[in-house]
Structure 1
Amino acid sequence: MSIEPFKMRLRAITLDCPDPQALAAFYEQATGLEPHPASDADFAGLNGEAGLFIGFQRVADHRAPRRPDPTAPQQIHLDFAVEDLDEAEARLIELGASKPAHQPDEDRWRVLTDPAGHPFCLVGE
């Protein structure tokens, strides 16, 4: 007996952080997504393609993940397709990203962390 899958689509991704406005500004500059008009000091958002929303919510005593340390796991990460890994990496570091020492396969993708410590990957197209 086959069960019909429940139909849903990804609508939003929300990241905990200490400063929603600052993290939204980082991702706005990195992606070109538009700020959500209802953003405020405790919650900021960016409007993406096809209705996808990226949110940033203030969390007191935010503890950044420390990939690959399992005592503070990554919890979630985003992947961004880019044409040139070196160029994208340099630009994002200029915007405030950091590059952890642990890089599993630098020729195929780069692991960076945003200003609040969330890991994300750049993947070559």
Structure 2
Amino acid sequence: MPLQMKLSAITLDCPDPLALAAFYQQATGLEPHPESNADFAGLHREGEVFIGFQRVDGYRAPRWPAQTVPQQLHMCFEVERHLDEAEALLLELGAGRPDHQPHGAKARVLTDPVGHPFCIVARAD
């Protein structure tokens, strides 16, 4: 019988944990963890995955889709809005949009302000 583990947290390396947490807070609406600081920041909400951000000296941004600096992690987020609208809002918050978009109209690949790739997909009704 499998162990049946439940994912409870994801932590991303970055040069400035508080700044990256602010980006994801605006994008997701998750709440800042009260003990967030310059070395480790977190976002949480009851029943959802905790997202952590840890300071790494000499941080090197992933180069997606190239693997010269591998992506190491790729998160996907369901969005309730039309993909074009969600993408525009995330770009305003500081996300980037790589030229390489392998999913056609069903998903968009974006990068957070420090280069981590993530996808947005329309929530299926």
TM-score, normalising length from structure 2? 0.93
Quote the residue 1:115 is aligned against. Answer: 113
| 1:111–1:121 Cα contact (<8 Å) kept | yes
Quote the residue 1:41 is aligned against. Answer: 38
Unaligned runs of 5+ in 2: none
Quote the residue 2:53 is aligned against. Answer: 56
Matched-pair identity in %:
67
Provide closer, same or farther for how the CA distance between residues 69 and 33 of structure 1 changes in structure 2, counting only shifts above 3 A. same
| 1:48–1:54 Cα contact (<8 Å) kept | no
How many pairs were matched up?
A: 122
Provide closer, same or farther for how the CA distance between residues 49 and 106 of structure 1 changes in structure 2, counting only shifts above 3 A. farther
**Structure 1 ranges of 4+ moved more than 4 A:** none
1:86 paired with 2:109, answer: no
Deviation, 1:5, is 1.1
TM-score, normalising length from structure 1? 0.93
Give, as a single letter, the amino acid of the residue that structure 2 aligns with 1:17. C
Q: 1:38-74 CA deviation, whole Å, 9 max, x = no partner?
A: 1000000000341521000000010111111122111
Take 1:119 and 1:12, find their aligned partners in 2: how far apart are those partners? 18
Query: Which of the pair has more CA radius of gyration?
Result: 1
Root-mean-square deviation over aligned CA pairs: 1.1
